[in-house]
Structure 1
């Protein structure tokens, strides 16, 4: 087809006898490139117009398909135009570079197709996790894992197709891959361990992006920002990024506080021994207050009991759960509960106990300070005798100075 068109155009130009053969080829190549640019421009604007038109519909997938196909379609038009121009040049030239036209065309077609599919996967991922586009958006971690796996399958298939088009035997490539896989497995066992660790995370889903996780086995605590095939990024509470190899999560226990249903209030409150007669009523009022509290989940375990005789207090155990799981709101509820418990205790004239110690002294034992307080006359006599002694000493000193003179 291309040969017939070129021959026709060449015949027309030759009949007029205007240009030499080289110029005629140049004119045809220029016309093909200019036509390719025109078609690419028109195709891009047509697809853009279709995008604007279909954006008003409720179907989101047609928008994704058009957006994903826009640039690959333009690239495909240029691929075809350059191929035709190269074929025209090859018809009148013996340059070796033009012998690869067919191979470049096949590889370029595979590249354009893979590019379009990868863009479509990305657009689909954005639709499935968007709360603005979906009434019930899917879990980001799951969609991201499926997206990565789909990309890997598309790229591997494209590589094998390109290798087949270049004349490589697939059986030989696969055999080499089997032998080389053993060597790569030994050399990159940590990398493979992290890869399969990431796969297990995506499969078991112990946590997802945005969850608060921590481990009692390692110093890991923070919010999950990204789950890759080799590393998981955790943002600690001091805002530092922590990069954890995925293989670590297969050997440690991981706690996910983000999935808790309630937060627990567990406090031990002591009152004085002098208030033992009020213990039963205080415990009953605290239990009633918690049962009626709007932020306490009464369907969960609720315990308020006299716990034990402690060293300097009578201890009451308060064990209950809040409805909220938010960290800041939980502490507001806990503060309100503790203040109401304090009001209940004070309402009965009781007091919250604090550590105290009573010291018993044997009969007849007096402290030095106490003895002076109890016998002030003896203290005054002692002071008077001391003053008289001082006066006599000063008088003697004056007499001695007079004799010396």
Structure 2
């Protein structure tokens, strides 16, 4: 039996196989087992470390493991090794040729890895690209492109090379409340102190309003809602109230609610909200009588 195994092991050695047939089979099994074990360990590590964009990393890990496994097995065969060695030796030239032929694609892939690694934004973040060229929520990040869902419910596919060179404002990446402004105009004969007080009461009563004051400012009885007189318009005096909320979408809805509530409260308090209007006076012409 031992002699048969030895003869079988000598089959193909030094002609097709780098090692004997039996040795080659054993090595292939060990390579596959090692690849499976390493793959599972890496998957557990990524999940335990709570990797951002986990599906992309898992896919990348899968491709890398497949390439390494196939290469390791092919090197056991002399013809394959003979072909692979010159290819690896000329890898620099091949890389230059491929880089020139697929410069844009490679650029997108590299930019994708940069975005995944340095994480300037994440899935679910609200971002503004190039001062408003694209504004929306990040719904998908791949190694080639980033998909942004706009407020118009459309999806914009932006190449990662462009995302990597663009000016990005991550609106979601903040540790404090989101601030916005509510503008209201009142007539010139309005009691401004009363109008400001009513405006503050309406805003502070909204359930989504976030109190921006620190504990020290609360002890000092500073105003919960800041209202300023910002301009003298043609029709009235402009007031600006600063609105704080947890996020952009909440603030948008809250501003709509507040406009309705302010209008109703001003009507109850007799505070006039002016609008452009014109009074036209018609001057009667007096026809002079003819002296003749």
Q: TM-score, normalised by structure 2?
A: 0.70
In 1, the alpha carbon distance for the partners of 2:182 and 2:55 equals 43
Residue of 304, 323, 347 corresponding to 2:227: 304
**1:31-72 deviations in Å (ceiling 9; x for gaps):** xxxxxxxxxxxxxxxxxxxxxxxxxxxxxxxxxxxxxxxxxx
Structure 1 residues 244 and 310, CA gap change in structure 2 (3 angstroms): closer
Indicate which of 268, 282, 287 corresponds to 2:183: 268
Question: What is the distance in 2 between the residues matched to 1:226 and 1:109?
Answer: 37
Matched, 1:158 2:69: yes
Give 3-state SS (helix, strand or coil) of 1:182's partner: helix
Map residues 157-176 of structure 1 onto 2, 5 A cutoff.
157-167=68-78, 168=81, 172-176=86-90
The Cα of 1:193 is off from its aligned counterpart by 0.5
Q: Is the 8 A contact 1:283 1:306 kept in 2?
A: no
| Paired position in structure 2 for 1:355 | 276
Distance 1:239 1:294, change over 3 A: closer
Q: How does 1:179-218 map to 2 (within 5 A)?
A: 179-216=93-130
Deviations 1:339-375 (A, max 9, x none): 443344334422211211122444x448xxxxxxxxx
Contact kept, 8 Å, 2:123 with 2:138, in 1: the verdict is: yes
Cα distance in structure 2, aligned partners of 1:244 and 1:146: 20
8 Å CA contact 1:222–1:236 kept in 2: the answer is yes
Change (3 A) 1:262 1:218: closer
Following superposition, the deviation at residue 316 of structure 1 comes to 1.7
Three-state SS of the structure 2 residue aligned to 1:306 is: strand
Q: Does the 8 Å contact 2:177/2:212 carry over to 1?
A: no
- Would the aligned equivalents of 1:114 and 1:154 in 2 still touch at CA under 8 Å? yes
Higher share in helix? 1
Mean Cα deviation higher: 285-294 or 247-256: 285-294
Question: How far apart are the structure 1 equivalents of 2:192 and 2:139?
Answer: 50
Equivalent residue for 2:92?
178
Aligned to 2:2: 3
Report if aligned partners of 2:180, 2:251 keep a CA contact under 8 Å in 1: no
Residue aligning to 1:231: 145
Q: Does 2:262 match 1:314?
A: no
Using the alignment, how far apart are the partners of 2:168 and 2:255 within structure 1?
A: 27
Rounded to whole Å, the distance in 2 between the matches of 1:290 and 1:222 is 27
Cα deviation 1:149-192 (Å, max 9, x = unaligned): 54455445434433443343787554221222122221121121
The whole-number CA distance in structure 1 between the counterparts of 2:138 and 2:253 is 26
Counterpart secondary structure, 2:120: coil
Corresponding residue pairs, total: 264
User: Which fold has the larger relative contact order, with Cα–Cα distance below 8 Å and residues 6 or more apart in sequence?
Assistant: 2
- Distance, in Å, in 1 between the alignment partners of 2:42 and 2:56 is 12
Alignment CA distance shift 1:241-1:100 (3 Å): farther
Match of 1:325 among 234, 247, 253: 247
2:148–2:156 contact (8 Å) kept in structure 1: yes
Q: Residues 282, 239 of structure 1: CA spacing in aligned structure 2 closer, same or farther, 3 A cutoff?
A: closer
1:283 aligns with 2:204: no
Native 8 Å contact 1:282 1:344 kept in 2: no
The structure-2 alpha-carbon separation of the partners of 1:271 and 1:258, relative to structure 1 and needing over 3 Å to count, comes to same
Matched position secondary structure for 1:224: strand
Q: Quick check: 1:106 aligned with 2:20?
A: no
Q: Give the structure with the larger strand fraction.
A: 2
